[in-house]
Structure 1
Amino acid sequence: MIVEIGKADLINHVNRQLTNMFGPSDDVEPYINVTLQKCEKCFQVNKSSYYRNDQQELFFSPYHSGQYSIFLYYLSNTIHLIGNNKKLASIVYYLNKILHSVDWYYEIRLPEYWGVEHPVGSVLGKAKYSNGLFLYQGCTIGGNKGKYPVIGENVILYANSTILGDSKIGSNVLVSTGTIIKDDTIPDNCIVFGQSPNLIIKNKDKNYLDLMISHFWSI
């Protein structure tokens, strides 16, 4: 994967942002290689043209807010998992919140590949996540009364949709704009509208959903 400004300048870029926001902090350099490996796995299946340069090579720009928000999540999570540095993980997470208005806590386990488009206002809390998650602005996944969602593969959350509590979302599911799912079970291969407990679930042929989801991923 090509890093637009190069790895060394990327490290300096992040360190300067952390210093400017929070004062002197530990260096992020020990965590960059693992973080970029995670980003490469995530970005290589994304069909957005922004993830390729003119030669169609995989391309990461820290000046693309969607890419950079995912990078900062993976960086904070990597620091948490292999660095045991709670302060540094916390301020990288906080930097992501400041820059992009997203709340993706470093302890949550997001999958190997997922994506965003205009993710401002999104909150990803405790849940079991699977590959193919894609979200737009204002989306929330979180708990209710100590219960947390289980999200299947290839779940697309359109703007201002919410999944809460003891919800189990199948695979190949489109969650329509403004939908609120709370303590509900959604089957595979469907489109969901409305608000729990009065959801409208439209079952669709798997081939139809596969075609819809193929617009997001190249696998």
Structure 2
Amino acid sequence: MELIDQTPESLAAYTCAQVAALVPDGKAETLLPLIMRNQAQALARVERCINAVRMWHPGRFNYLHSSQYCQYLYYLANTIWRNEGDARACTRLFLLNKALNGIDLFYEIEMPEVFFIGHSVGIVLAKATYGNYLVLYQNSTVGKNHGAAPVIGDGVVMYPNTAIIGRSHVGNGSVIAQGVSVINRDTPGDCLVYAGNAGDLVCKPVREPAAEEYFRL
């Protein structure tokens, strides 16, 4: 994958410099060897994601593209966590992503192989089951309720200001309309979910999978 205006070494140094500026405790330098050991694997995960997103140029990663860099920081932290279990280093990357992009995406969360962030500001994601080809927009929330976490199928789209909470099973191809909350409810899949009367949800069938608009399937 082409790294625009960067090499793997300079990208690692760039990320470490950002962490040092955000958390000036003098320990950011210990992050560099961790990144270098795990960066190839993290970038391979980023490349898989970039190549699948229709609006992104395949095989090119731009560190100044906020959504791409946001997903890179997640994949990097998650890869380091998987391989080395270094919570202090991963927390620094998590905090950097939160500060730069306004997203709360913890490194222990297992995001899908392919997902797309339209705008990251205000996104909060809990430990849940996430299907592949997920689309997230600003202020979308996935959260637990009394310890129960949602199960989200493949090809789900969460438009701005949406929420999936608690014991919810969101079927493949569900599109959650702007401002709608799915709380301890199920959706049948291949549907547009919007608000009905008295807090009810209305699920209207869709003609084509929404994921086709966003991804090279």
Give TM-score, length-normalised by structure 2: 0.93
- Give the equivalent residue in structure 2 for 1:88: 89
User: Counterparts of 2:87 and 2:18 in 1: how far apart (Å)?
Assistant: 18
SS of the residue 1:44 aligns to: helix
Which AA in structure 2 matches 1:202? Answer: K
The corresponding residue for 1:2 is 2
Question: Which consecutive residues of structure 2, in runs of 5 or more, have no partner in the other structure?
Answer: none
Tell me how far apart the structure 2 counterparts of residues 139 and 43 of structure 1 sit (CA, whole Å).
21
Equivalent residue for 2:80?
79
Is residue 125 from structure 1 mapped to residue 126 from structure 2 by the alignment?
A: yes
Corresponding letter in the other structure for 2:47: E
Aligned to 1:116: 117
What do the CA deviations read for 1:75-108 (whole angstroms, capped 9, x no partner)?
1111111011110000100100000000000111
Task: Specify the alignment match of 2:145 in structure 1.
Answer: 144
Cα shift readout 1:130-164 (whole Å, capped 9, x = no counterpart): 10100111000010011000000000000000000
Task: Tell me the distance in 2 between the aligned counterparts of 1:29 and 1:15.
Answer: 11
CA distance, structure 2, for counterparts of residue 203 and residue 104 of structure 1: 31
Report the counterpart of residue 209 of structure 1 in structure 2. 208
- Which amino acid counterpart does residue 109 of structure 2 have in structure 1? I
Runs of 4+ in 1 over 6 A off after TM superposition: none
Q: Does 1:41 find its partner at 2:42? A: no
Shift of 1:18: 1.1
Structural mapping, 1:7-26, within 5 Å:
7-23=8-24, 24-25=27-28, 26=30
Contact 1:190/1:209 (CA < 8 Å) preserved in 2?
Answer: no
| Inter-partner Cα distance in structure 1 for 2:195 and 2:147 | 24
Deviation at 1:209, TM superposition (A): 2.5
Conserved 8 A contact 1:172-1:190: yes
Partner SS for 2:142: strand
SS of the counterpart of 1:79?
Answer: helix
Q: Which residue of 2 aligns with 1:101?
A: 102
State whether structure 2 residue 177 is matched by structure 1 residue 199: no
The whole-number CA distance in structure 2 between the counterparts of 1:64 and 1:145 is 37
- Provide the secondary structure at the position in 2 that maps to 1:147: coil
Q: TM-score normalised to the size of structure 1? A: 0.92
Answer whether contact 1:108 1:126 (CA < 8 A) is retained: yes
RMSD (CA atoms):
1.3
Whole-Å separation in 1 of the counterparts to 2:47 and 2:101: 21
* Structure 2 residue matching 1:62: 3-state secondary structure: coil
- Work out the CA distance in 1 between the residues paired with 2:110 and 2:211: 22
Report % sequence identity: 30
Structure 1 portions without partners, runs of 5+ = none
Comparing 57-66 with 167-176, greater Cα deviation is found at: 57-66
Aligned to 1:173: 174
* Paired residue type of 1:3: L
